[in-house]
């Protein structure tokens, strides 16, 4: 029984240290150094929270850039992917259907395949560029202006080599709304 009581004492000690003390210290550090990020990178429009800069939103209106397909319809509660495999007829049919939403024949893969989280905030630069015609027409501005905007918003690989080049759809659409009337 001595083992059991020692186990209980050490377990309680460790719970306080790793389960209460440790997350509180990280919380204090994160709040002091990166407050906005620690609280979800929320973005505000005229003081009202319009979403998180890291969490994708559903866009289907022509004047907005569209995000990737999502197995959860961009509902974060809960997040998740389709889990469909390449031999799934359902996936084949979904890809065919998604292709119809775009005029051009060559649609980048990220606009045809759903993301892992269902909340992917990004699309590839190619996926943004093929939508410029539509957005420009819907907003009545020149395509060149929109392409210029996409290029300025495009994030390169981090530190020059990590990850992939990408465009944050929500941030791009927020800039569009700020710059041009809907």
User: How far does the chain reach from its first CA to its final CA, in angstroms?
Assistant: 73
Burial (CB < 10 A; 0-12, 13-18, 19+), residue 47, is exposed
Between 58 and 144, whose beta carbon lies closer to other proteins?
A: 58
The sign one gets for the Cα dihedral 91, 97, 101, 102 is positive
Between 144 and 154, whose beta carbon lies closer to other proteins?
A: 154
Residues 6+ apart with CB under 8 A from 175: 149, 153
Between 123 and 132, whose beta carbon lies closer to other proteins?
A: 123
Least distance (Å) from other proteins to the CB of residue 94? 9
Least distance (Å) from other proteins to the CB of residue 40? 5
Between 91 and 130, whose beta carbon lies closer to other proteins?
A: 91
Least distance (Å) from other proteins to the CB of residue 145? 20
Residues 6+ apart with CB under 8 A from 105: none
Least distance (Å) from other proteins to the CB of residue 140? 19
* Tokens (6 digits) for 69: 């397909």
């Amino acid at each position: 029984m001595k083992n059991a009581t020692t186990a209980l004492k050490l377990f309680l000690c460790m719970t306080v240290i790793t389960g209460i003390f440790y997350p509180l210290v990280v919380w204090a550090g994160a709040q002091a150094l990166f407050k906005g990020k620690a609280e979800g990178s929320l973005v505000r429009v005229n003081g009202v929270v319009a979403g998180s800069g890291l969490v994708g939103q559903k866009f289907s209106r022509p004047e907005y850039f569209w995000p990737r397909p999502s197995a959860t319809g961009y509902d974060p509660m809960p997040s998740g992917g389709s889990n469909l495999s390449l031999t799934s007829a359902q996936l084949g049919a979904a890809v065919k259907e998604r292709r119809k939403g775009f005029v051009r024949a060559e649609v980048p893969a990220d606009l045809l395949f759903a993301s892992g989280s269902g909340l992917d905030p990004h699309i590839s630069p190619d996926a943004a560029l093929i939508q410029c015609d539509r957005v420009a027409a819907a907003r009545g501005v020149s395509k060149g202006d929109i392409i210029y905007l996409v290029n300025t918003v495009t994030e390169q690989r981090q530190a020059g080599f990590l990850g992939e080049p990408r465009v944050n759809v929500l941030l791009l659409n927020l800039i569009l709304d700020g710059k041009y009337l809907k």
